[in-house]
Amino acid sequence: MISILPTAFIFIAAALVLGLLPRGHVRGVILLITPILAAWQIWNLPVGIFVQVEFVGQTLDMMRVDKLSRIFGLIFCLAAFLGNLYAWHVRDFIQQIAALLYAGAAIGAVFAGDLITLFFYWEGTALASVFLIWARRTEGSYHTGMRYLIIQITSGVILLAGTALLYRETGSITFELMTLGSLGTWLIFLSFGMKCAFPLLHNWLQDSYPAATITGTVILSAFTTKLAVYALARGFAGTELLIYIGAAMTLFPIFFAEIENDLRRVLAYSLNNQLGFMVVGIGVGTEMAINGTASHAFAHILYKALLFMSVGAVMLRTGTSKASELGGLCRTMPRTAIFCLIGAASISAFPLFSGFVTKSLIMDETANQHYPIIWAILVFASAGVLSHSGIKIPYFTFFGHDSGLRPKEAPIHMQIAMGFTAFLCIFIGVYPEPLYALLPYEVIYRPYTMSHVVGQLQLLCFALLAFVVLMRTGIHPPEIRAVNLDVDWIYRRLIPTLYNIIYAGVAKVLQLLETLVNTMTQLLVKELYKLHGPETGVSRMRGVGAMVIWVAILLGIALTLSYF
Amino acid sequence: MDLNKSDETSKFSPLGKMLSWFTKTKNANNIFLGLALLCFLLFLADFTYHKHGHFHIEEIPGFYGAYGFFMFTALILVAKALRLLIKRPENYYGDKAIDGEDYPADQLEQGSK
């Protein structure tokens, strides 16, 4: 019974039912039950391929269950549950529907056994999620949503093009391990890379996530990019190029995050950096590295959601997420502050928190496979994570200089959502075995060794010390109201400016041409007038009598000639 | 929004009072010294066990501490320099971005303690 319905359809069915129900708590309950039902189904499904459909001569595998798709399916259900719990107060129908369909599409994509099914769900995530941005209902969010949608849809179109080329080449649409080489595989790689926020393709993430609604950002943070991580792990595990791409991804966002004022954008940069660790794991591609990527994605979805939740709660109470306007909120929002600190400790990978037991799988395997420079970059990036997510987010929101704001504590349902997520972050950190058991391959790894714990604590505590020293000496850059340029400047400023210049240029040329044509025509008309106008010889009036004489003369000549 | 900057701690919950300890200027030195002491102890801890890293550099006592301290400092300095290049006014992208606009008040549940 449970194997005849693709998990995604549970979400779609729930979205259809939702509209028939009265507003309020009933809808809220549906939003919570749906992911639980889905998780129950995923948990109970055996490994295998279910629900095959014929579609234009192809067999589509709607439900491919194996250990890799299962762990992503489960964490997506958990993320949908936590996000919807956090959004319990939201009565906006559009956001509720979007949250359901978005989670459903992401889960559908994870279980897609072929590239066509993947494409449908891939675009589904794009279409559903943009409403979480538009639901803010401001001019800015409308334009941001448009930019987001164009990029996401483009990624899907490229995926479809790649699939078509691959099919022509191999005759198969099965979504399995690929080797970069043909144009088709490169296009699929590029499509995954766009959604995974590869360097230079990343900026839709930092542009759009801060523009979504408070609860929308929490939901957005879980799915799209981790779906891309899953797709890369499925399709391109062991592709060495990914190691270098991933290392670059861990590196560059930490500088931008450091000087960004909007804390939700700081978190988006931080998300990008965390994806880098996962991408490195995929590139290394060994069983332990893929385990590292899958477990890190699992832990990351939780602590990243927790951080977005805590900043969102502050935003709900104060109306802003800008570091320059916040500070000192631990006085009246102490629980939110503690939840935020737990998220911060988890992402910074302090021992006993979730990031520690998952990230170290990737880092150790990178070292095991002898990538010393990549390893050194990852250690540096770990200190960087501490700087923006571990310190900046909690410090400039809840501690630091007193903004004078005394907001109320977060609403109770938000506290429950944050508390539960925080509990999971600590639980995974203290007792990682259940998570390890879910991983695609067998885990032979002990995160808690003396050298590992002391090494990590040294790294983090000395970095913290550096922060304190820099703050006390006034070297640490202050939080100021400003935006920072990034790659999106190219399509938000440069291209529109160039377009305007070119447009103006072309318009000028056209105008000149028009003037030229007009002048020429006028000249022509004038000349014609001179020749054929009423005063000229050609059109002068002549008397009828004169004409008759001339005709008579002509006829006389003709008559005379006819005699010869 | 209540902008009464009151440190009348009686209004805060017990947890809030506890956390506000960290924000007091007079405690800043203690926090700094405590952290420095912790770092020193962690450095000493490196001598208590046999280090087995993947690379030789990991076996130097205090390697992680030094790396963390200097790379963190370098990160901040580079980021500060980067800001000189890429910083723009908040309304740089005008009404096509959310940076210059307020979050819609009807979607907030503001309130002060």
- Of A19-28, A138-147, A237-246, A373-382, the one with minimum mean pLDDT is A19-28
Q: Are B39 and B15 contained in the same domain?
A: yes
Contact A155, A194 (CB under 8 A): yes
- Our count of domains for chain B comes to 2
**pLDDT digit string (tens) for B21-70?**
888 888 889 999 999 999 999 999 999 988 777 888 888 899 999 999 99
Find the mean pLDDT for residues A187-200. Answer: 97
Cβ distance of A482 and B87 shorter than 8 Å: yes
Assess if residue B13 is contained within a domain: yes
Q: Which among A400, A459, A477 has the least Cβ separation from residue B83?
A: A477
Residue of B2, B11, B19 best to disrupt the A interface, most CBs of A under 10 A: B19
A143 and B58: CB-CB below 8 Å? no
Whether residue B56 is found in the same domain as residue B83: yes
Q: Per-residue pLDDT for A5 more than 70?
A: yes
Residue at B110 is within a domain: no
pLDDT of residue B3: 44
At residue B11, does pLDDT exceed 80? Answer: no
Chain B residue whose CA is closest to A482: B90
Tell if the CB–CB gap between A407 and B112 is shorter than 8 Å.
yes
Average pLDDT, chain A: 95
Enclosing H/E stretch for A53: strand A48-55
Residue B28's domain comprises 8-45
Cβ proximity of A267 and A393 under 8 Å: yes
Q: How many H-runs (helices) and E-runs (strands) does chain B carry?
A: 3, 1
Q: What is the pLDDT of residue B1?
A: 42
Taking the C-alpha atoms of residue A372 and residue A369, their distance in angstroms, rounded to an integer, is 9
Q: Do A458 and B46 touch (CB under 8 A)?
A: yes
SS3 of A286-351: the string is: CHHHHHHHHHHHHHHHHHHHHHHHHHHHHHHHHCCCEHHHCCCHHHCCHHHHHHHHHHHHHHCCCC
Nearest to B23 among A317, A402, A408 (CB): A402
- Nearest of A230, A236, A227 to residue A284 by alpha carbon: A236
Q: Which range, of A238-247, A254-263, B26-35, averages the lowest pLDDT?
A: B26-35
A396: nearest CA in chain B? B23
Mutation target among B31, B98, B102, B112 for the A interface, most CBs of A within 10 A: B98
Q: How far apart are CA A467 and CA A308, in angstroms?
A: 23
Q: What is the mean pLDDT of residues A57-84?
A: 95
Q: What is the mean pLDDT of residues A80-100?
A: 96
Instruction: Kindly state the DSSP code that residue A261 receives in the 8-state scheme.
Output: -
Q: Measure in Å the smallest separation between the Cα of B95 and chain A Cα atoms.
A: 5
What is the distance in angstroms between the Cα of B87 and the nearest Cα belonging to chain A?
5
Residue B101 in domain: no
pTM: 0.92
Domain membership flag for residue B82: yes
Q: Are residues B59 and B83 in the same domain?
A: yes
Token readout for A484 is 């920072």
Candidate from A213, A315, A451 with C-beta closest to B51: A451
For tokens 């903004």, name the residue: A403
Residue B76 lies in a domain: yes
Residues of A in contact with B29 (CB under 8 A): none
The mean pLDDT of A475-485, rounded to a whole number, is 93
A264 contact partners, CB below 8 Å, separation of at least 6: A209, A210, A217, A308, A311, A312, A315, A321
Domain for residue B67, yes or no? yes
- Nearest-Cα distance to chain A for B83, in Å, is 7
Mutation pick from B13, B29, B76, B84 vs chain A, by most beta carbons of A within 10 Å, is B76
Does a structural domain hold residue B61?
yes
Nearest CA in chain B to A210: B98
Q: How many CB atoms lie within 10 A of CB A251?
A: 18
CA dist A532 → A58, A234, A521, A522, A538 (Å): 75, 82, 16, 15, 6
Mean pLDDT, residues A235-256 taken together? 97
Same domain, B62 and B81: yes
Contact assignment for B2 to A406 by CB distance below 8 Å: yes
